[in-house]
């Protein structure tokens, strides 16, 4: 764990100087927390004012955690102890598995973080955002350090829909649920929040309802006006007044106070704008920032090595498991063949007789209506092969119903001297019972002459 850079930044003031002649005192929000909503159409200064509020948080010695979907807030690192994670200007790469490390580093060192998500699609950004907010919420349960979470383009991460538990990456929750969790329960964990959007109609209403400071910029869409109409009515602001605002102009509303303001100039660059001339107010923190970056880089390297080792071990385990599965399948196959051969041998009988006639193997056929399974078909093939190996003669099945005893070889008889009486019919070629009993004591079948 990082143990350096513990010294907190000196708090210069306890107010947000957002305009030349207007500032917001922070004392009234110590008990309730700060939850801002910055609302303005595209091109009306929403991101610019959000940048001003971010700078004011840092000027008051606060800690920022910025969700940046467009890569606009990396310039904060020019004057403040801010680590940019990911993006074209990233100081460290954005590794999802290391999000806990980033967040804990922020809380341990009092450094701020900007997560540049501009390289990701919306649904990928939502998954990363959920992991960041969950990590922040979890660590702040222990640390309880004042942190301002800034969510730019908040409608991406907290859209106007019901949260769901389906379709999310393992280890993440629905971004709507994550946002509601921060907005409703973040105060007890010292998490302040700022939600900036150009489409209030698309932003989850639970988020807006939790805000206690509003910054209304110019909007022109009727749908967006309807989404914030209850708050505008409370503030005494008409739709026509919003449509008349110029870029950079806002109506501030909080605790019953409504004030029209024009945001001050940024201290850091914004969209190519040149910042005001001033001293490097955070130069004393550069050494701590460099140490933090070095430690993060080293930790990420160690994590990468550990991950590679785990991956290598996993590949080896999978290979060994595949070999065991193949061997198991081979042994099962051999065992099944042995069992099948045993069944075939038990079903074949070869009578021991001295007669020259070939032995007759007997099998009970399966009625056609019952069908035959694959295993039985294989048994039948083996049975036929076994019979062919014995004497080359085909099997002679008995009639299916009813089953008969094993057939006995017929005995040649001399022609009778005289014809048998007409009323008595003997079975043709049937041996005398006594003779059959003498030669085959275990195979005697009672043969009864048929009388007319």
End residue of a domain, out of 272, 296, 314: 272
Confidence of residue 402 (pLDDT cuts 50, 70, 90): low
**pLDDT of 21 strictly over 60:** yes
Query: Could you tell me which residue, 182 or 422, shows the higher pLDDT?
Result: 182
Same-domain status, 260 and 359: no
123, part of any domain = yes
Q: How many domains does the chain have?
A: 2
57, part of any domain = yes
CATH number for the domain including 92?
A: 3.40.50.300
Domain with 375, as residue range(s), is 347-391
**pLDDT of 403 strictly over 80:** no
**pLDDT tens, residue by residue, 45-80:** 999 999 999 999 999 999 999 999 999 999 999 899
Same-domain status, 234 and 363: no
**pLDDT of 409 strictly over 90:** no
End residue of a domain, out of 227, 252, 272: 272
Same-domain status, 35 and 158: yes
Tokens of residue 83, six digits: 């680590």
Same-domain status, 128 and 265: yes
CA–CA gap between residue 66 and residue 48 (Å, rounded): 14
End residue of a domain, out of 237, 272, 307: 272
Q: Minimal CA–CA distance to 157: which of 185, 192, 193, 188?
A: 193
256, part of any domain = yes
280, part of any domain = no
| Prior bond of 402 cis (ω within 30°) | yes
pLDDT at 320: 82
Same-domain status, 30 and 167: yes
* Whether the predicted model's global pTM rises above the 0.75 cut: no
Same-domain status, 66 and 159: yes
pLDDT at 287: 58
pLDDT at 94: 93
**pLDDT tens, residue by residue, 130-187:** 999 999 999 999 999 999 999 999 999 999 987 776 656 666 689 999 999 999 999 9
Same-domain status, 359 and 235: no
Same-domain status, 209 and 102: yes
CA–CA gap between residue 136 and residue 147 (Å, rounded): 9
Same-domain status, 240 and 93: yes
Residue 182 near residue 11 (C-beta atoms within 8 A):
no
Same-domain status, 259 and 387: no
pLDDT at 173: 84
Tokens of residue 259, six digits: 């004030």
Confidence of residue 281 (pLDDT cuts 50, 70, 90): very low
Mean pLDDT of 361-380: 60
Residue 13 near residue 60 (C-beta atoms within 8 A):
yes
**pLDDT tens, residue by residue, 285-301:** 465 677 677 777 777 76
285, part of any domain = no
**pLDDT tens, residue by residue, 80-109:** 999 999 999 999 999 999 999 999 999 999
Mean pLDDT of 202-211: 95
253, part of any domain = yes
Cα 145 to its chain centre, rounded Å, is 31
CA–CA gap between residue 131 and residue 391 (Å, rounded): 76
**pLDDT of 408 strictly over 50:** no
**pLDDT tens, residue by residue, 246-270:** 999 999 999 999 999 999 999 998 7
120, part of any domain = yes
**pLDDT of 335 strictly over 60:** yes
pLDDT at 366: 52
pLDDT at 178: 94
Task: Enumerate the β-bridge partners of residue 35.
Answer: 193
Looking at the chain, the whole-number percentage of residues with pLDDT higher than 90 is 52
pLDDT at 219: 94
pLDDT at 47: 96
341, part of any domain = no
Same-domain status, 256 and 371: no
Same-domain status, 21 and 132: yes
């Amino acid at each position: 764990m990082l143990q350096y850079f513990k010294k907190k930044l000196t708090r210069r003031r306890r107010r947000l100087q957002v305009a030349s002649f207007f500032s917001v005192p922070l004392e009234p929000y110590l008990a309730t927390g700060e939850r801002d909503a910055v609302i303005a159409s595209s091109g009306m200064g929403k991101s610019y004012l959000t940048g001003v509020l971010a700078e004011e948080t840092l000027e008051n010695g606060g800690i920022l955690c910025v969700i940046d979907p467009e890569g606009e807030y990396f310039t904060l690192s020019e004057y403040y102890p801010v680590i940019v994670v990911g993006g074209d200007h990233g100081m460290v790469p954005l590794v999802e598995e290391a999000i806990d490390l980033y967040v804990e580093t922020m809380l341990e060192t009092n450094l701020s973080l900007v997560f540049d998500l501009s390289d990701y699609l919306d649904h990928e950004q939502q998954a990363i955002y959920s992991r960041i907010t969950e990590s922040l919420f979890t660590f702040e349960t222990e640390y309880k350090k004042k942190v301002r979470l800034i969510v730019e383009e908040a409608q991406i991460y907290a859209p106007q829909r019901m949260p769901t538990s389906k379709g999310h990456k393992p280890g993440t929750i629905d971004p709507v649920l994550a946002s509601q969790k921060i907005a409703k329960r973040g105060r007890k964990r010292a998490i302040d929040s700022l939600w900036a959007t150009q489409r209030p109609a698309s932003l989850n209403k639970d988020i807006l309802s939790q805000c206690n400071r509003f910054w209304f910029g110019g909007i022109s869409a009727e749908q967006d006006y309807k989404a914030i109409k209850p708050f505008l009515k409370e503030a005494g602001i008409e739709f026509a007044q919003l449509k008349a605002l110029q870029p950079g102009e806002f109506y501030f509303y909080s605790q019953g106070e409504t004030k029209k303001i024009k945001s001050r100039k940024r201290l850091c660059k914004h969209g190519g704008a040149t910042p005001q001339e001033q001293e490097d107010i955070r130069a004393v923190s550069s050494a701590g920032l460099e140490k933090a970056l070095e430690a993060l880089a080293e930790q990420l390297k160690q994590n990468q090595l550990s991950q590679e080792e785990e991956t290598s071990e996993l590949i080896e385990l999978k290979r060994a498991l595949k070999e065991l599965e193949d061997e198991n399948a081979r042994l099962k196959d051999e065992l099944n063949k042995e069992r099948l051969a045993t069944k075939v041998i038990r079903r074949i009988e070869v009578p021991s007789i001295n007669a020259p006639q070939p032995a007759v193997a007997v099998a009970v056929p399966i009625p056609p209506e019952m069908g035959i399974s694959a295993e039985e078909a294989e048994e039948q093939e083996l049975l036929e092969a076994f019979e062919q190996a014995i004497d080359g003669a085909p099997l002679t099945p008995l009639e299916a119903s009813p089953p008969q005893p094993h057939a006995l070889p017929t005995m040649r008889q001399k022609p009778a001297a005289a014809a048998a009486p007409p009323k008595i019919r003997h079975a043709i070629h049937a041996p005398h019972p006594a003779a059959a009993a003498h030669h085959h004591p275990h195979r005697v079948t009672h043969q009864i002459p048929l009388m007319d």
